[in-house]
Structure 1
Amino acid sequence: MSIAYTSGEPSGIGPDIALIYAQKERNEDLLVYGDPDVLINRAKLLNLPISLKDHKTRKANELSIYPIKTKSRVEPGKLNPDNSDYVLSLIRHATNDCVNKNCGGMLTGPINKAVINQSGIEFIGHTEYLADLTQTPKTVMLLATDQLKVALATTHLALKDVSKNITKESLIKVITIINNDFKYLGVDNPSILVCGLNPHAGENGYLGDEELITIIPALNSLKKNGINLIGPVPADTAFTPDSLKNIDVVLAMYHDQGLPVLKAKGFKNAANITLGLPFIRTSVDHGTALDLAGTGNISLGSFNTALSYFKTLTNNASPA
């Protein structure tokens, strides 16, 4: 079954990734959601041979295409708000195909949140948009490298909004999803290290009471169900080698508490995984790299990692 690849922001490197990947024979059927003209024009810039097909192909220099037209002309490196709905339509069509089992899951290319919002469309991020499209009450953003996996209790929020969005109920849902879905990564009953929200995990309430009021009660409730939890621990020492011994995943309370450490360890070789959806979704861990679009000077490291995790998740989700 095909992997739905949404080519993302057309003026960025999302189309380039698909074209460079297609230069070799491969085992996977990649169905690219995008504008054929964008792909053809980008291939010319990259001086790459390409043939777009409307059927599954694994041959070198060929790509399967789900054609969707942009609204306005695309120039590499130049964002155009007029194409914002096109970017979202790629995700909508791919989601529909994944939900209806026409594709085996989704691998998403990079998008630019700012230009989508600039167009007048309120947009937070892939993770939230996919949850809304599939009417999934709760999803979890997980970033993964070979060395480290970090899940987030909250995703794309301003720092001032983080505390009020962390509740006992939301933490229970997030941790339950992590515990249940890690089996698709080959880990049953994962060991989950939970960061505190405040410096020193609140210092017994002197530096904030969220740990006492919210986080600890949530963890205690889940421990009664046999979930393997450690914490809350101070985030400034959570990522030390000693702290990470025998840990499968770290749960950070907000985006920039955990992801800078993960990206420092494995940028360009990390993948974004959305847990809790009715289908598998992985993504590259980088942005649109507008300055590199059409230059050929890009790495497929993160794409290859996302593809590798996609295969792992698919294999472990399949009946034995």
Structure 2
Amino acid sequence: MDRPVIGITMGDPAGIGPEIILKALKNNELYSKCKPLVIGNAAILEKADQIVNTGLKMNVVEVAEEGKYCHGAIDVVDIPGINISEIKLGHISGEAGRASYKAIEKAVELAKSKSIGAIATAPINKEAIKAAKIDFIGHTEMLAGLTGTADPLTMFQVGNLRVFFLSRHVSLKKACDLVTSDRIIDYVTRLENALRMLGVDRRKIAIAGLNPHSGEHGLFGDEEIREIEPTVDLLRARGIDVDGPIAADSVYYLALKGKYDSVLSLYHDQGHIATKMVDFERTISLTIGLPFLRTSVDHGTAFDIAGKGVASSVSMEEAIKLAVIYGHKYST
């Protein structure tokens, strides 16, 4: 199989994104798997390399076909018009937010035209995006808006543990209100299809409980009895292999050990904590339901260490590898 072109967005230039991309692309192994194409500002990347000292050369291209894709040179689709003087490492700024958004916008354009096979994203900062007056709260919302996709799925993978989320960036109170039968039916149906798109042969799904011990039959919370249990019966009748609710303090462990192929987490932190405690650096986020596959590091911009050259590139490398593994299956 030909090496796919993987678009790698720069992330917030005031954070560790440029550093971890440079460090990742110093790894020759990635070039044996794919053709990495960085999408960002070349001058910012060159400045970052003064910190991490990879010695890699920038090859600025206008289209993906111009890339060299050989170890030692980083192919970059340059995003011009960024005022670098307004960007300070470790600090929030509207210009940094604009730079990160422009890179994502260009990556989507390339993915939609099939110039790249998938997108792997470095971290952005939500406050910087807001300061740039961009009307999206995060990566997933941006990608959905730029592609006209309604409510794409988020999946975390670490090892063989796959976790989907019934809700993402909402308050805990609102997340509880979103645990409804109709929403669970919609998400589990799409989740099962997403696993099929990723090439997962067995698709046994578990739904996590919302309350401690899944409510102990209504002793403390009735969402399990009222919304989840009847819905599981209905989904099974439709031929979907699903169990639940299963107490959240055990379901992720059971899935990690292979009993389930995926878990539907009922709110943001429930699944985030479970996956990141397995292996923080190798927990990778996937956005599924877009016209292309997107993978991402699952950590933030780390402003506290930006510019120090100490940020690990492991998560960035893993995000690129998963984009290769799943990207081909996703697009066929």
Flag whether TM exceeds 0.5 (same fold): yes
Match of 1:39 in 2: 45
The CA deviation string for residues 121-161 of structure 1, in whole angstroms up to 9 with x for no partner, is: 44322122212221222311111111422111111111121
Q: Using the TM superposition, give the Cα deviation of residue 313 of structure 1 relative to its aligned residue in structure 2, in angstroms.
A: 0.8
Q: Using the TM superposition, name which of 76-85 and 87-96 deviates more.
A: 76-85
Aligned equivalents of 1:303, 1:242: Cα separation in 2: 24
Unpaired stretches in structure 2, ≥5 consecutive residues: none
Match of 2:283 in 1: 270
Q: CA 1:33–1:245 in 2, change beyond 3 Å: closer, same or farther?
A: closer
Q: How does 1:132-151 map to 2 (within 5 A)?
A: 132-151=145-164
Q: Please say if residues 16 and 303 of structure 2, whose CA atoms lie closer than 8 Å, have aligned partners that are also in contact.
A: yes
Q: Using the TM superposition, give the Cα deviation of residue 244 of structure 1 relative to its aligned residue in structure 2, in angstroms.
A: 4.9
Q: Using the TM superposition, give the Cα deviation of residue 243 of structure 1 relative to its aligned residue in structure 2, in angstroms.
A: 8.9
Q: Please say if residues 183 and 316 of structure 1, whose CA atoms lie closer than 8 Å, have aligned partners that are also in contact.
A: no
Q: Please say if residues 152 and 255 of structure 1, whose CA atoms lie closer than 8 Å, have aligned partners that are also in contact.
A: yes
Helix, strand or coil for the counterpart of 1:169? helix
Q: How does 1:1-320 map to 2 (within 5 A)?
A: 1-25=4-28, 26-27=31-32, 28-49=34-55, 50-54=57-61, 55-69=66-80, 70-73=82-85, 74-241=87-254, 244-317=257-330, 319=332
Unpaired stretches in structure 1, ≥5 consecutive residues: none
Q: Please say if residues 2 and 56 of structure 1, whose CA atoms lie closer than 8 Å, have aligned partners that are also in contact.
A: no
Aligned equivalents of 2:251, 2:131: Cα separation in 1: 37
Helix, strand or coil for the counterpart of 2:274? helix
State the TM-score, normalizing by the size of structure 2: 0.88
Aligned equivalents of 2:43, 2:59: Cα separation in 1: 10
Give the counterpart letter for 1:291 in structure 2: D
Aligned equivalents of 2:89, 2:54: Cα separation in 1: 16
Q: Please say if residues 4 and 94 of structure 1, whose CA atoms lie closer than 8 Å, have aligned partners that are also in contact.
A: yes
The CA RMSD measured in Å over matched residues stands at: 2.1
Q: Using the TM superposition, name which of 219-228 and 113-122 deviates more.
A: 113-122
The CA deviation string for residues 230-288 of structure 1, in whole angstroms up to 9 with x for no partner, is: 10112123234499542111111001112112101111112101122211110011111
Deviating 4+ runs (over 4 angstroms): 241-245
Give the counterpart letter for 1:38 in structure 2: I
Q: Please say if residues 178 and 275 of structure 1, whose CA atoms lie closer than 8 Å, have aligned partners that are also in contact.
A: no
Give the counterpart letter for 1:249 in structure 2: S
- Equivalent pairs counted in the alignment come to 319
State the TM-score, normalizing by the size of structure 1: 0.91
Q: Using the TM superposition, name which of 159-168 and 223-232 deviates more.
A: 159-168
Aligned equivalents of 1:205, 1:129: Cα separation in 2: 39
Aligned equivalents of 1:272, 1:243: Cα separation in 2: 16
Aligned equivalents of 2:114, 2:180: Cα separation in 1: 34
Give the % identical residues: 33
Aligned equivalents of 2:247, 2:94: Cα separation in 1: 41
Q: CA 1:131–1:61 in 2, change beyond 3 Å: closer, same or farther?
A: same
